[in-house]
Structure 1
Amino acid sequence: MGARELTLIGAGLAGSLLAVLLSQRGWKVTVYERRGDPRIKGYESGRSINLALAERGRHALRAAGVEDAVMRQAVMMRGRMIHGLDGSLQLQRYGRDDSEVIWSVHRADLNITLLEAAERAGATIHFHRRLHTVDFDAGYARLIDDRDDQPHDIRFATLIGSDGAGSALRAEMVRKAGFGERTEFLDHSYKELTIPPTADGGFRIEANALHIWPRGRYMCIALPNDEGTFTVTLFLPNQAAPGSGDPCFASVRSGAEVRALFERDFADALPLIPDLERDWEQHPPGLLGTLYLDRWHLDGRAVLLGDAAHAMVPFHGQGMNCAFEDCVALADAMDAHVGLKDAFAAFEARRKPNAAAIQAMALENYVEMRDRVDDPDFLLQRELELALQQRHPNRFVPHYTMVTFMRTPYAVALERSEIQRAILVAATRGRRDLEGLDWEALARTVHEQLPVLEGAG
């Protein structure tokens, strides 16, 4: 093996993007992927929540030179469209105007774009190669073609794990050196459904929004795709809380039972999903969990990134964006350090606290999406948040703005968000509106507790 050769495990979104970035820097990159080539086989459906592309992800795509190709397939989402139980609609903007939006992208289309970019950059990609075992000391790995169970042995100098939450490389690293692996699963799972386009190829509901049907301990969401469809995801508890009467995966098993649920709780969505029963019965439920590791690298021989290192629940729309940010950070660290051991250590030191922060914020955002988006206290706090942003644009920067429209480190965003939330809760406690607020006292509090944020304003 040459000194500038790298072996990537996983040709999904992060692996493909990283292959582009490293190939552009002169590395000889070989990628192994357990699935077939999606350009030939077609993409696995029923297990992939649509993706929300934000500034962090776009920055990484710009670095790889593929942003324009991706954005041609993206659909703008300017806010959350809240569907009340009574059929009412309310748009809650993500930002101040259409300069602060996120973009819905289809996982399969994005993956194909990145695969093609990786190959153009010089990377070699092998499909139908599932990592089976690794001998880190000897520098050999065995991969299996699941079509015929044939083994394929390779020699490697360095392995990079971009093979997702179920990472086979992580399992081998844990077997070798521990790493304190633990996964905390939510007591909720999800199923994916589809809203088809109209007869003339248009959208059946507002295209430029992320639709949410919040129902307390469960919810339904829908994200637009550029071909006029919506990817719909229903989140339910695995088991209902005692005495709650909530629907759950244990009680909603058949197509008839899910139809009854939609008739009761998502009546305005039901006519939009003609294949509800079929999708429900054919698509297996997906698990939702948060992965924690004590460390991400094995000296200079192996390193993990993205979901393989820090899988998170999808409720902040940052899993892909965080993984893409990892790719840029790892490439930068490899530029800055002569040895890969030092590069991987620097990458881990920079990214691990930020990954932990967005994992925590993603869990918190689930509660907000299903329980709080139609709560009067939450809406009043959001009104005050925007007012304080207008008055103090360099200091009081909304949580969502820092995470989604800026590249403020996640750990910094979490710390500032906690301070800002306390200010909002205290200022709105017992109020129905903002009339009579002591704006001068609030200004003093903001200036005392929140330093100027670089890049804000």
Structure 2
Amino acid sequence: MMSEKKPHVAVVGGGLVGALNACFLAKRGFKVDVYEKREDIRKAEHVKGRSINLALSTRGRTALRMVGLEDEVIKNGIPMHARMIHGVDGSRQPILYGKKDQFIMSVDRRKLNELLLSAAEKNPSVTCFFEHKLVGCDFKTGEVEFITNEGKRVKNKVDLIVGNDGAFSGVRKELMKATLLDFQQQYIPHSYMELTIPPSPTNEFLMEKNYLHIWPRNEFMMIALPNLDKSFTCTLFMPFKIFSDIKTEEDLMNFFNDKFPDSIPLMGEETLKEIYMSSKPLPMVSIKCSPYHVGDKGLIMGDAAHAMVPFYGQGMNAGFEDCIVLDEILDMYQNDFSKALPAYSKTRTVDAQAICDLAMYNYIEMRKSVNSKLFLLRKKLDNLLFTIFPNSWIPLYTMVAFTRTRYHLCIERRKHQDEILTKVLWSGVFFIVGGCAFSLLKICNQKEISFHDLTDRVVELWESLKPV
């Protein structure tokens, strides 16, 4: 029985989730080999192709706490208590994420990955192999094969092959050959580009540091997260077409002067031109698949199983939570992979697909809904009810970011709350409108205002509540 021996696991992928997974598996006493196709990130001069900043919240922090790394990560992060909304006119308006003591953390991707790899290697049962690219795996025998940068073939035979190798996972491709795997890949019509706001000449932050700054412009947006070096990493999210329409420096400055005028003095015009004109917008993909396992020897986790667009800040957090869920299920089935892997697939698929959907939804909220007075009213009502009924009314964002409520249950509870709020709001609207109509009709009779003028004024009031 698997419970009578210490299993040997090959973790394919030495990124954030792979390195953390190695820590979890080693904690169980497993022998773990980590294979990463890139060079050791701790020795690399530059790391290409990945966003610098990540937003760490409760799910991720819980996973880090379970392997003794939370304090170290938090020490090197910056708390963000709210969104700071930047208007075109230069105005700023904060929107709290939850209660005043609740916050997400801006953390550096590379530093976190380095910390996790070093923590994994401190376990004598963990060995890391870099510049090893997956060639193939056999999920019946547990054989896995890699090729090094020098062209050498390396084979290993293990009890379990775990794919933590990202959105374009090689292990997932092998799973597709071995089982009936449903797969959905969606590139959204928007792309992103990273820009920067440097520190001030006196090495201070140029904006409020404890916020996730957002410039919402309905069809597109820009965000900025703080860094320990007093800079901000800005990410511009726009449809590919808008990016392609900006062809010259003049086009760029006209666009920014029109849409993000307050950001220009912060970035510096020349720095903005240099970074933008030398960069390419990068695509964003959402991936759903099922099941996550094959037999008792193959499993995918993290982005390999559920890559998502970045707009809920849950990609890393969901991947880290995968490690918790697998650990709990391995406990339940005493390391019996033949029972644990199907249970993991069944348990995690519904939640992973739910957060993929929520991530898509949150892009609309971040770039458009935050401009709406009705949305802001809803947020205030949500927070008010949360304060009055903290155990029975929890806003969606609070459930996702500050609890470990299963993702699919977050959506179900939000729908139920929406139904209640809709009834309450419409009851209030009818009460207010009825009262106002009665009062206005009395005024009309007294001051001889026509009914036509009255309806015009009501329409003007309604229009003022629509999104900007």
1:329, 1:150 → 2: CA distance?
A: 36
**Is 2:82 the partner of 1:73?**
no
Decide which of 240, 265, 271 is 1:271's aligned counterpart: 265
1:154, 1:163 → 2: CA distance?
A: 17
1:426, 1:4 → 2: CA distance?
A: 55
1:149, 1:256 → 2: CA distance?
A: 48
Residue 370 (structure 1) aligns with: 367
Report deviation, 1:3.
5.1
Q: How many residues align?
A: 427
**Is 2:410 the partner of 1:413?**
yes
Are the structure 2 counterparts of residues 65 and 294 from structure 1 closer, same or farther at C-alpha, using a change threshold of 3 Å? same
2:135, 2:279 → 1: CA distance?
A: 27
Are the structure 2 counterparts of residues 282 and 3 from structure 1 closer, same or farther at C-alpha, using a change threshold of 3 Å? farther
Are the structure 2 counterparts of residues 337 and 430 from structure 1 closer, same or farther at C-alpha, using a change threshold of 3 Å? closer
Q: Could you state the TM-score of these two structures normalised by the residue count of structure 2?
A: 0.86
Contact 2:6 2:29 in 1 (8 A): no
**Counterpart secondary structure, 1:169:** helix
**Counterpart secondary structure, 1:38:** coil
Contact 1:213 1:219 in 2 (8 A): yes
Residue 344 (structure 1) aligns with: 341
Residue 107 (structure 2) aligns with: 105
Report deviation, 1:287.
1.7
2:338, 2:265 → 1: CA distance?
A: 56
Residue 203 (structure 2) aligns with: 201
Residue 88 (structure 2) aligns with: 85
User: Match of 2:293, as an amino acid?
Assistant: H
Residue 220 (structure 2) aligns with: 218
**Counterpart secondary structure, 2:9:** strand
Are the structure 2 counterparts of residues 317 and 341 from structure 1 closer, same or farther at C-alpha, using a change threshold of 3 Å? same
Residue 136 (structure 1) aligns with: 139
Residue 314 (structure 1) aligns with: 310
**Is 2:48 the partner of 1:52?**
no
**Is 2:281 the partner of 1:285?**
yes
Residue 37 (structure 1) aligns with: 40
Structure 1, unmatched stretches of 5+, are 240-247, 438-457
1:387-429 Cα deviation digits (max 9, x unpaired)? 2122222211111111111111111111011121233344335
1:13-58 Cα deviation digits (max 9, x unpaired)? 1111111111111001110011111111134245315211111111
**Is 2:128 the partner of 1:125?**
yes
* Greater Cα shift, 401-410 or 135-144: 135-144
Report deviation, 1:354.
1.1
* Greater Cα shift, 120-129 or 108-117: 120-129
Contact 1:254 1:280 in 2 (8 A): no
1:285-317 Cα deviation digits (max 9, x unpaired)? 222222111210011111011111011111111
* Greater Cα shift, 37-46 or 69-78: 37-46
2:252, 2:212 → 1: CA distance?
A: 22
1:52-71 Cα deviation digits (max 9, x unpaired)? 11111111100010001101
Residue 244 (structure 1) aligns with: none
**Counterpart secondary structure, 1:85:** coil
Report deviation, 1:108.
0.6
**Counterpart secondary structure, 1:407:** coil
Query: Cα RMSD (Å) of the superposition?
Result: 2.3
1:246-281 Cα deviation digits (max 9, x unpaired)? xx1221245553333212211111222242233224
Report deviation, 1:373.
0.6
Structure 2, unmatched stretches of 5+, are 435-468
Are the structure 2 counterparts of residues 85 and 405 from structure 1 closer, same or farther at C-alpha, using a change threshold of 3 Å? same
**Counterpart secondary structure, 1:8:** strand
Report deviation, 1:204.
1.2
1:187-244 Cα deviation digits (max 9, x unpaired)? 11111112222233321111000000000110000111122121111001123xxxxx
Contact 1:47 1:192 in 2 (8 A): no
